[in-house]
Structure 1
Amino acid sequence: MDEAGTQDDRNRDVRIEPYDGPAGGWGSARSLLEILTREGVPVSGTALLTKQNKPGGFMCTSCAWAKPAKPLAFEYCENGAKATAWEQTRRRATLEFFAEHSVSELLTWSDYALEEAGRLTHPMRYDAASDHYVPCSWSEAFKEIGRELKGLDPKSAVFYASGRASLEASYMYGLLARLYGNNNLPDSSNMCHEPTSVALPQSIGSPVGTVLLEDFEHTDMMFFFGQNVGSNSPRMLHPLQEARRRGANIVVFNPLKERGLERFTDPQSPVEMLTRSSTKIATQYHQVKLGGDLAAITGLCKALIAADRDATTAGRPAVLDHAFIAEHTQGLDAFMAFCDRQDWSALEERSGLTRHAIEGAAAVYARSKAVIGIYGMGLTQHRRGTETVRMLANLLLLRGNIGKRGAGICPVRGHSNVQGQRTVGITEKPELAPNDKLRELYAFEPPMEKGLNTVETCEGILDGSVRAFIGLGGNFLRAIPDTARMEAAWRNQRLTVQVATKLNRSHLVNGSVAYLLPCLGRLEIDRQAGGPQAVSMEDSTARFHGSNGAADPVSPDLRSEPWIIAEIAKATLPPNPHIDWDAWVADYGRVRDAIEATYPDLFTDFNARMWEPGGLTKPVPARHREWKTESGKAQFVVPSGLEADPDLPPREGDILDLMTLRSNDQFNTTVYGYHDRFRGVSGTRDIVFMNVADIARLGLTDGGQARIETVSDDGIARGLGGLRVVAYDIPPGNCAGYYPEMNVLLPLWHHDAQSKTPAAKSIAVRVRPEAAA
């Protein structure tokens, strides 16, 4: 087999070479051509790409970045194109494939090789006697799944949703779980932006960001914290480039130098491509220590407060927006007192930045009139991730930068509908579910007991209280912490059901009864009794978009996610005269009517407006300076300290902080290839990036072999060997490695205190030399 299909990853040509090119440009074009050719879709794939993120076309299955009302000629990025090629590959994981390869053998394959086996084509049941997946009919699968679920305590079953399922499927899935009798609805938001959903309601009364795409046209400054735009949301580079050309400042706080925040060449510009010119993106780039953002933002606030006092004393215009603060906020005095108590030496030590650098960034902020605060998981995935997000809100509130044009807070979500799933009821928190409407519409009593989030699901699998796991997409076992422990416990479950388009490791570690159910991809035409169906999703800026499939299904045995959910419901639940599952599947417009009836203030005229250019805008009160907080005002919230990860051992001696990261050749757990172009890595993912001083201090060598071990007092050994040491521009005392491979080092208990999001951006480890195999 060639590289695209091999399960032996040891024979690749490994190269570590510095990359000095920009984001975008010819590197992006070559990467796109390579994956289209490798997946066998160079012509059909190109035709599909012309419909990606376009009105009447399909929404990208990759990131959740906003879709413009007036799209570019090619409204997709390198990773979005890879996602399309990945889904429309010519490769197939057929019945013959599963007859040839046992599950035990497949467990030895890499993540990349498993998914490169191709699209799933037929429903399968795991046969423990032969250790193979064997074919079954859809009716057989649903009959047994329903029988198993009816035999379990509803509290013992979990309904997990990845961030790609549509609004229609998500609404049906949440309703299925609640009719069954629980709120066990963890989703991928639990692993990434749950601190946002907890922090922003406390600070501004809205659980999502306040920025719209058009705000980028009017901003004169942006802060970036812990977000890698070049790999995780490359289409954002176009508004960033336009903002820089207008003279807007972009101030970045990030431990690593990420190429997308340094330089960008627009692949759609013939002049830039021919001249190899690029736009400098960041006007300031501050390499903060892992977990140092909380201290850095505190320093920014401290500097602003001091500058405001100096201005008042000197009779100059104020730096803080006192009129906004007086009318719209409360808690400033306590927050200012906290900032005043912080010593600059402590702020410098924890942030890894000098006072001069922090004050320089604050000075640019003080001169700017409309500022956007953009952040990613570099802020959220810490023990005090929620507090760090609230600190960013504090920073913006000081100068009135929420609720006005060109300004606001902007969390950059990952999966293409992860925010939308929360909007339509995928939540473990009963207080966030529309229970009164559910009672009214469907005449049942919704469960009011809190359900399980991702961490709690893992805890339940470890202690045996979780007996069934239904996975609506995703690769849960690779995405979660403590993967070695979790895989060992996973097999103790009674029932595991995975709805998927491609094979991944989560499908190979099974309960006593296990099914693998292949579904349509978003790009594929969804033909139901009422004709071809469209679906919808929500982007990072809280706008809803319609999506039409454009390609024929890769197999006649595939079924849509709404159909699969409806069939599980029919096989499991008693009939409900108020729900016609078959009618909903025949016409998804009826599901959207149900969504509108359940959330009338959010989805007014949903069916009629879902195709509005640029998307249907969801009401976000904080955009209009309406604060749905307990006090009715935006709240300055005082953090508990400067340390984002207070439970880690002291950073001294041979202990380092490890962060997990993604390459630009992957999206979440999906690995498209082994070419992390921006970091100069090719042919391997077995890497630990380290500061050159730490390499020398710890007796390692650049290019040598290393083993990483977690530092923990819980008595559990966590380690990963066979890693190549790569000298990299990362702050001393910090190191980095690829997700999901590094998840084996992340303890389950190491999570944000309030949201329980795993703290994957700061793990205490030791890195030791390891003899080459």
Structure 2
Amino acid sequence: MHLPRALWPGRELSMPGKTRKPSFKPYTGPAGGWGSAKSVNQILRHERVYIEGAKTLIEQNRPKGFACVSCAWAKPAKPHALEFCENGAKATAWEITPKRVGAEFFAQHRLSELEQWSDYELEAQGRLTEPLRWDAGSDRYLPVSWEQAFAEIGAELRALDPQSAVFYASGRASLETAYLWALMARLYGNNNLPDSSNMCHESTSVGLAQSIGVPVGTCTLEDFNQTDCILFFGQNVGSNSPRLLHDLQQAARRGVPIITFNPLKERGLERFRNPQSPLQMLGAPATRISSQYHAVKAGGDTAAILGISKVLLDLDDRARAAGEPRVLDVDFIATHTQGFEAYADCVRGTGWNEIEAASGLSRAALTEAASVYAKADKVIGVYGMGLTQHRLGVQNVHMITNLLLLRGMIGKPGAGVCPVRGHSNVQGQRTVGITEKPEMVPNDKLRELYGFEPPMRKGLNTVEACEGMLDGSVRAFLSLGGNFMRAIPDTQVMEPAWRRLRLSVQIATKLNRSHVIHGEIAYLLPCLGRIDIDRQSGVEQVVSVEDSTGCMHGSRGQVEPPGPLVKSEPAIVAGIAQATLAANPNIDWVAWSSDYSKIRDAIAATYPEIFHGFNDRLWEPGGFHRPLPARERRWKTDSQKANFFAPQSLDTDPDMPLDARTQVLRLITLRSNDQFNTTVYGYDDRFRGIVGTRMVLLMNIADIERLGLATGALVTASTWAHDGITREICGLRVVAYDIPSGCCAGYYPELNALIPLWHHAQASKVPAAKSIPVRIRAAS
């Protein structure tokens, strides 16, 4: 199968009407500082919300305010004067923009035309204001009443085999909406509930559950105040969770060593100037964040961690022989773990040559890191998608947990494992039932509360939903937010399959590519955003979210809705449910969508251990924390112990045969400073010195020369695979960058077309977007 070379390049604009010639100049400033302040000022002016936006931002992530709609980092009990970051401000301005998209917009633009627009241009048109249905004759979205939309969607769903419908959820939806969405799907008859976690941290949910018995991290913000060492793997804090920089800065100022493993030198992990510090803004030196920075090769994290473990075992052997205090926490290992001997045998049996080749790091560098870790008493292991989005991503999660278990760093204050989740509430949605795995759902409670038999057949995750579209078994796709078509891998393969769907329903705040590529019958349903004031029956409602540390928070809208026809997410879900499902005497969809406290009562009844007294605890300072047995050294694993896992391979992306590796590079997809997930706010990446374009390929200068290329040259990247499908993207501009030899990097989601659908993590099926085998050639 051969696919077109061209992607949808669109028109690359920094701001509408201002085309700019791409330029590349190294950025020398810190994260934060005046660059951040200038960027916030620019987005507020650009979205024409300078006054209203400034007022709204004051309430962001604050008590009785609203939870940020971008990242999921924790909200402190005692917030800073301004509890938002640069990208959080961009997300807020993007959502409260006065720009609107209704029927008049689509009267001017056919969808075939909009398919040629860039992601930036589509979302930049503004907020959706009325329910719309695609009309095949005119190739336009036309207005439809809510009643008609619900009735027609319900009729289509009732006519389908329940196993053929998918109910996708992005990380944006509240706990209340997610609970209704999951319940509706199960009442309909399936567990086809993929969500954005399937594309990022499902490796965490699988790996941590196997290692320590919980699917989430064990750290709170208070742990960052007590720790004396932080190990940081594969996460770009400066762009993806900048508020975490406050905690890292405070730790660094206390002299806490922060040891970073990341292929690229990300500015936020190097130095930070706090925009809320007058002294720093007036010229005081920026804070050094990482005390050690190790540029690990893409796919080399397992090898790096095994190398550190090897040093620790050697240090422990020496200490034992000398009668000195042990380096390993042998009492913890004996009492609380199993599998140590097999792991230790694997570590001892692996040679340094193999470790250095797979990690791209020297024995001396790994010894330096291990020596600091060995002396620390309270250590936090932080990681992001740089560990999870690999073929052996679950193994990576096991490995960082192994490293912490060696020294008893799980279940003690100031220590623990800390996966940094991406989208706000993506973790919370899983907590209240968004999962394809029936064993993760309290089915007995659902039977008791709602008098139905929950489906026990495993549902479809993201990759499996895509496979179902390709083979025709998936006929309907309902999306609670998100931009599925751009977030998934193999986009050139998937778009034709997406068009063959019988039904596509999109609940959204703004226009994106998943809306202009559509099924035979397609609806675009505008919903309130989290920052909008949500009035039901004249009463303002509040919603709730879970942050990355497992704390639940209330969130209250601050601005007037974009239009009178825009409905809340709970009201839309309730409308579809009523039109689709048989009446259930135990469920009052109208009451739930009119008073969200009743939904929270239902959540508390379904998950009493986590959400007891939900409404009463909604506004606790800093949020209320979900129970985490591993924090108390209670292990909810099959063995009732914390488990060590020996790695099956040092190379976490073993798809490339040895004889091809001199010509094939490992492509890392990453986000710019001017985006959050699939939302692109502009075409500049300040921290990487890239202006006016996203069609770039960051390469090591040695690889550029070895492949006979030149800095600034246009190249084509093609996936190295033997499945008969040609995947390639042309028009990428080479940028020389500090990245390990043999690796290259480019932007997500533009380069998702290079990720084969089958190139995913074993066990979790997370797309392996951090190590894609590609060939690079000069553009013809």
Indicate whether the TM-score tops 0.5: yes
Match among 709, 715, 720 for residue 706 of structure 1: 715
Match of 1:79 among 87, 91, 95: 87
Partner of 2:384: 376
**Cα contact 1:386–1:754 (8 A) shared by 2:** yes
Q: Does 1:271 align with 2:279?
A: yes
Structure 2 partner of 1:334 = 342
CA contact (8 A) 1:430 1:449 kept: yes
Structure 1 residue 309, shift from structure 2 partner = 0.3
Q: How many angstroms does 1:12 deviate by?
A: 2.2
Contact 2:655 2:773 in 1 (8 A): no
> Would you say 1:201 and 2:196 are equivalent positions?
no
Q: How does 1:263-662 map to 2 (within 5 A)?
A: 263-529=271-537, 531-650=539-658, 652-662=661-671
Match of 2:675 in 1: 666
Measure the CA separation in 2 of the matches of 1:530 and 1:604. Answer: 28
Distance 2:383 2:656 in 1: 23
Distance 1:331 1:4, change over 3 A: closer
2:662 aligned partner, one-letter code: G
Which letter does structure 2 place at the counterpart of 1:766? R
- In the alignment, the residues of structure 2 paired with residue 764 and residue 52 of structure 1 have an alpha-carbon distance, to the nearest angstrom, of 41
- Structure 1 counterpart of 2:8: none
CA contact (8 A) 2:303 2:358 kept: yes
The amino acid across from 1:714 in the alignment is D
Counterpart residue number, 1:738: 747
Q: Report how far residue 3 of structure 1 moved.
A: 5.0
Which residue in 2 is equivalent to 1:723? 732
* Equivalent residues in 2 for 1:29-178, closer than 5 Å: 29-178=37-186
**Displacement of 1:368 after TM fit?**
0.4
Which secondary structure does the structure 2 equivalent of 1:275 belong to? Answer: coil
1:200 alignment partner, SS class: helix
Opposite residue 350 of structure 2, the aligned amino acid is: Q
Give 1:94 deviation, angstroms: 2.3
Which of these residues, 690, 693, 696, is aligned with residue 699 of structure 2?
Answer: 690
Cα deviation for residue 277 of structure 1 reads: 2.1
8 Å contact 1:649–1:764 — kept in the other structure? no
Structure 2 CA distance for partners of 1:5 and 1:237, relative to 1, 3 Å: closer
Q: Say which of 31, 34, 37 aligns to 1:26.
A: 34
* Per-residue deviation, 1:323: 1.1
Q: Aligned with 1:644: secondary structure?
A: coil
**2:234 is aligned with what amino acid?**
G
Q: TM-score, normalised by structure 1?
A: 0.99
Question: 1: CA distance between counterparts of 2:674 and 2:209?
Answer: 34
- Cα distance per residue 1:344-369 (max 9 Å; x no partner): 00000000000010011000000000
C-alpha separation between the residues in 1 aligned to 2:137 and 2:14? Answer: 30
Q: What is the one-letter code of the residue matched to 1:701? A: A
For 1:137 and 1:277, the matched residues in 2 are separated by 58
CA apart distance, 1:485 = 0.7
Q: Which ranges of structure 1 fall in alignment gaps of 5 or more residues?
A: none
Counterpart position of 1:224: 232
Helix, strand or coil at the partner of 2:479: strand
- Aligned 8 A contact 1:5 1:113 in 2: no
**Once the two structures are superposed, what CA deviation does each residue of 1:477-512 show, in whole Å capped at 9, x if it has no partner?**
000000011001111110000000000000011111
What amino acid sits opposite 1:295 in the alignment? A
Equivalents in 2 of 1:400, 1:3: separation in Å?
51
Whole-angstrom distance in 2 between the partners of 1:718 and 1:13: 27
Q: CA RMSD in A?
A: 1.1
SS state at 1:545 partner: strand
CA contact (8 A) 2:99 2:127 kept: yes
Deviations 1:207-226 (A, max 9, x none): 11000011000001001110
Q: Say which SS state the counterpart of residue 439 (structure 1) adopts.
A: helix
- Per-residue CA deviation, residues 48-96 of structure 1 (Å, 9 max, x unaligned), is 0000000000000000000000000100000000000000112111221
- Looking at structure 2, the residues matched to 91 and 134 of structure 1 have their Cα atoms a distance apart, in angstroms, of 19
C-alpha distance in structure 2 between counterparts of 1:508 and 1:276, whole Å:
49
Q: What SS class does the counterpart of residue 530 from structure 2 fall into?
A: coil
One-letter identity of the residue aligned with 1:732: S
Q: CA deviation at 1:637?
A: 1.2
List, as ranges, runs of 4+ consecutive aligned residues in structure 1 with deviation greater than 6 Å: none
Q: How much has 1:648 moved relative to structure 2?
A: 2.6
> Post-superposition shift, 1:14?
1.3
Q: How does 1:674-685 map to 2 (within 5 A)?
A: 674-685=683-694
Q: CA deviation at 1:647?
A: 2.2
Which stretch of the first structure deviates more once superposed, 135-144 or 571-580? 135-144
Call closer, same or farther: CA 1:167–1:762 in 2, change over 3 Å. Answer: same
Structure 2 residue 222 is the aligned partner of structure 1 residue 214: yes
Using the alignment, how far apart are the partners of 1:653 and 1:53 within structure 2? 48
| One-letter code aligned to 1:284 | Q
**Equivalences, count:** 769
Partner of 1:770: 779
Q: Residues 363 and 213 of structure 1: is their aligned pair in 2 closer, same or farther, counting only changes over 3 Å? A: same
What SS does the aligned partner of 2:760 have? Answer: coil
- How far off its partner does 1:671 sit? 0.3
Q: Distance in 1 between matches of 2:532 and 2:129?
A: 14
Q: Which amino acid aligns with 2:758?
A: W
**SS of the residue aligned with 2:611?**
coil
Separation (CA, whole Å) in 2 of partners of 1:51 and 1:143: 38
Residue 353 of structure 1 aligns to a residue whose secondary structure is coil
Residue 631 of structure 1, CA deviation: 1.5
Moved more, 146-155 or 87-96: 87-96
Shift of 1:5: 7.1
Write the distance in 2 (CA, Å) between the matches of 1:454 and 1:514.
20
- Contact 1:122-1:558 within 8 A present in 2 as well: yes
Counterpart CA distance in 2 for 1:612 and 1:219 is 24
Contact 1:519 1:558 in 2 (8 A): yes
- Whether the 8 Å contact between 2:205 and 2:215 is mirrored in structure 1 is yes
Q: Deviations 1:435-484 (Å, cap 9, x if unpaired)?
A: 10000000000000000000000000000000000000000000000001
| Residue deviations 1:711-757 (CA, integer Å, cap 9, x gap) | 00000000000011000000000000000000000000000010000
Deviation at 1:521, TM superposition (A): 0.5
Distance in 1 between the 2:339 and 2:491 partners?
A: 42
Residue-by-residue CA offset, 1:360-382 (whole Å, 9 max, x unaligned): 10000000000000000000000
Residue 690 of structure 2 aligns to which amino acid in structure 1?
Answer: V
State the AA in 2 paired with 1:479: A
Describe the superposition over 1:370-424 as per-residue Cα deviations: whole angstroms up to 9, x where unpaired: 0000000000000000011001000000000010010000000001000000000
